Structure 1
């Protein structure tokens, strides 16, 4: 039996067919995979799987636009085993994340993101304080769940912080994969995307206010309102304030 149960939320059948389902690691149903269409949040999909008490040791949340190379599952299993020899038992593991926060933040991981190779300077494996949502594995008996209030953003870092609060550990390992997000890397962002990020960010900031500053792979948060300010800055210069439509 595989050590991994893969889970993904689908908003575009074309994207999931061209990316995740076409991955060499996933081709022809080689891995157990749960797909859910048009969910209101990542949490609804992920938590239902975790609540079903799957027999696999790890539940791997992966974006529909990720490509996993041939043999990725074997390499990931080895990477986790090696990490646990060095770091101790892990409950959350990802492909890309951040160690520390603010001016001390260091990226960790190795992925291809929209055609650009990202290789964080932190030596792998390493304990992290944030993980990117593109791929995050959670030990199935950890008791951890995603927060539905966070929608489609910040939920991986939230899992890391939940783990830390429970005395558990989260790490980044060398698990190279490709991420082909269609979210623009540079302004302007579509207004619905900016609104979504601002809403999720406000919920995340409120939840973890006592832990600030926090740094994710996309934003450094020093105080409440920083995520909304970034989302506003990513809109067109003449855009209406997000405060009018993103409570």
Structure 2
């Protein structure tokens, strides 16, 4: 049996959320790709290292169980990989939402928790300092592993980017539209502060680090400011949040993302893919 080139790994503790969102994605429902679901793991790092070990795919996509991937998303991913390889053949990571070095957020992704499309649209791959953990893509031969000393379910998207950067490998935000049907969150659990402090110690030479949620600093001042903002803004956040019980395909329809394939079939999309492939070929033969 030929080695699959793309596989998906998801950590889940709720079969209903998984069934209502990720398993509805056409590329997953088709059975054309391997999906490793790691259930009830003690931490994200343990779940994802376990999932990584269960597949031998060259490209591994790590994603949340409340993510929906529209039709044609896999084709779009292949196009984005070709675009990144054209400028950085040794890339390590791609993400659907990332924080650039200038602290701007790049998507675009729909988030039910905030009720709108988040992130600027990158016209080319954008180097990042962190990812939102909703979805990111790892190149196996980058040799990265998740740090199991980082307990819980927070900041591993920043940690894995820091690992890549420390090893001289690229991490990029690319346009991979998707639905994150995450719903309103009052706050994050108690392990968030522990993750913040662990990251501040581990990567003190890279500080400050801007994550999609908070800026990591030595003093933790920004952590307390973020908590204060959450408390003050809870009424506004409740008002704008969209229901996560709604079919994610409804949100994809409203965003215009039900079918991502036309962008690939258009002359512009084909030209970009062909040009990227030519540049990769030139680099490999030079």
Measured against the shorter chain, the TM-score band is 0.7 to 0.9
- Structure 1 residues 125-162: Cα deviation after superposition (integer angstroms, max 9, x where no partner): 12111111000111112211111233211101111110
- Structure 1 residues 164-193: Cα deviation after superposition (integer angstroms, max 9, x where no partner): 111111111111111011352xxx42xxx3
Aligned to 1:110: 108
Aligned to 1:245: none
Contact kept, 8 Å, 1:56 with 1:140, in 2: the verdict is yes
Aligned to 1:200: 195
Contact kept, 8 Å, 1:132 with 1:217, in 2: the verdict is yes
Residues 1:140 and 2:140 are matched in the alignment = yes
Residue correspondence of structure 1 range 161-200 to structure 2 within 5 A = 161-184=162-185, 188-189=186-187, 193-200=188-195
Contact kept, 8 Å, 2:9 with 2:52, in 1: the verdict is no
Aligned to 1:66: 67
Q: Secondary structure at the match of 1:21?
A: helix
Question: Residues of 1 paired with 2:184 and 2:147: CA distance?
Answer: 22
- Structure 1 residues 173-218: Cα deviation after superposition (integer angstroms, max 9, x where no partner): 111111011352xxx42xxx33121121121111111211110111
| TM-score, L = length of structure 1 | 0.84
Unaligned runs of at least 5 residues, structure 1 = 238-247
Q: Secondary structure at the match of 1:149?
A: coil
* TM-align CA RMSD: 2.0
Aligned to 2:41: 39
Q: Which moved more, 1:195-204 or 1:222-231?
A: 222-231
Contact kept, 8 Å, 2:38 with 2:51, in 1: the verdict is no
Contact kept, 8 Å, 1:108 with 1:123, in 2: the verdict is no
| TM-score, L = length of structure 2 | 0.73
Contact kept, 8 Å, 1:194 with 1:235, in 2: the verdict is no
Unaligned runs of at least 5 residues, structure 2 = 233-286
Deviation at 1:19, TM superposition (A): 0.3
Looking at CA atoms only, which structure, 1 or 2, has the larger radius of gyration? 2
Q: Secondary structure at the match of 2:48?
A: helix
Q: Which moved more, 1:15-24 or 1:111-120?
A: 111-120
Question: Residues of 1 paired with 2:137 and 2:49: CA distance?
Answer: 13
Deviation at 1:87, TM superposition (A): 3.4
Aligned to 1:4: 6
Aligned to 2:90: 89
Misfit runs of 4+, over 6 Å = none
Q: Secondary structure at the match of 2:60?
A: strand
Contact kept, 8 Å, 1:197 with 1:227, in 2: the verdict is no
Deviation at 1:227, TM superposition (A): 5.9
Contact kept, 8 Å, 1:197 with 1:231, in 2: the verdict is no
- Structure 1 residues 46-73: Cα deviation after superposition (integer angstroms, max 9, x where no partner): 1123345x33111110000000011211
Q: 1:83 to 1:40 in 2, by over 3 A?
A: same
Q: Which moved more, 1:60-69 or 1:89-98?
A: 89-98
Deviation at 1:229, TM superposition (A): 1.6
1:223 to 210, 218, 223: 218
